[in-house]
Structure 1
């Protein structure tokens, strides 16, 4: 268990120091984390609506931070190029995220064109039922994306790395709140980039 927790801390630290320099990105991660926590609360009540919240608010804000605001030049704090960081990324790098987000966009279109999913489900009779079906499809996509990358890491690295990553993803919302709750305050002071003094001294 000690080794597992050490590996979890390492993955969290690397994720923060490599991929969260932008204060806008950090603030969007705070929004994402808070909405994910609400989605977790909704999960036992209605997984479809939990998934709608998670994908429409949590995932879009989180990925917008990475795609549009996170610096992609040379990382002087960690002495690493953007290409190097993308290559060593444990979870979903930007290229893999494009695939995941493309599937996210494609699923509602597929359900609109084929409401029964080739006879797998009862076709929606109205927009509320359609939204519920989209939510369930997105819920399946989220679970599938988590399981796929976890098992993928079993083969790329080892079972422990995959399980640590899955644990990190599931607990990220709570950790991100603790890590980035001050980010909006820094933004209000005009600080767009975290100087990462704590990373430089690490």
Structure 2
């Protein structure tokens, strides 16, 4: 049992390290991950009292800030630090690489349209009355989407990799907000200082 636990921990450390070194070079991306981590941790507390609001926060703020960092600010040219191409990183990514994230975020963005077409969501909800009730129904949909996306990839990894890899990745995703908070809590300050230094350099030039 002790050997299995140590193997689990080692695989978790490896997945976290690969994620950090391959996909978090940009200070802007790191800072957005810090914002995401704080928001996710807030949602973790809130989900027990108000699941719909927690999901709205998680998807509307935490996920959008997190993925914006990856899509718009993280460099995709050759990674000289790790001596590999962006394509190689995408190929070996255990969880959701950028291509898979496009699908997931597309489902997220389009899912409210389903409620506009069928306010009952095929009999799941009573038809919403007003925007607030519509938003809460959307939040519950997003909660199911998030849980479904997590479970789907875990089970998929069971078949294409192995059971341990899937379980470790699931644990990594659930604990990423805690880890990202620890890793990137200083990144916003570094980003501000870098901006100040750039302005000083520009003026001096």
TM-score with structure 1 setting the length:
0.93
Aligned-pair Cα RMSD in Å: 0.9
Structure 1 or 2, whichever has the larger Rg, is 2
Count matched residues: 191
Aligned pairs (5 A) from 1:96-135: 96-135=100-139
Aligned pairs (5 A) from 1:25-64: 25-64=29-68
Q: Secondary structure at the match of 2:80?
A: coil
Aligned: 1:165 with 2:169: yes
Q: CA–CA distance in 1 between the matches of 2:88 and 2:35? A: 28
Name stretches of at least 5 consecutive residues in structure 1 with no aligned partner. 192-202
Q: Secondary structure at the match of 2:30?
A: helix
Runs of 4+ in 1 over 6 A off after TM superposition: none
Match in the other structure for 2:6: 2
Name stretches of at least 5 consecutive residues in structure 2 with no aligned partner. 196-205
Larger relative contact order (C-alpha < 8 A, sep ≥ 6)?
1
TM-score with structure 2 setting the length:
0.91
Match in the other structure for 2:90: 86
Greater fraction of residues in helix: 2
Aligned: 1:174 with 2:178: yes
Q: CA–CA distance in 2 between the matches of 1:120 and 1:57? A: 26
Q: CA–CA distance in 2 between the matches of 1:170 and 1:148? A: 14
1:33-52 residue CA offsets vs partner (Å, 9 max, x unmatched): 00000000001001111000
Match in the other structure for 2:21: 17
Q: Secondary structure at the match of 1:49?
A: helix
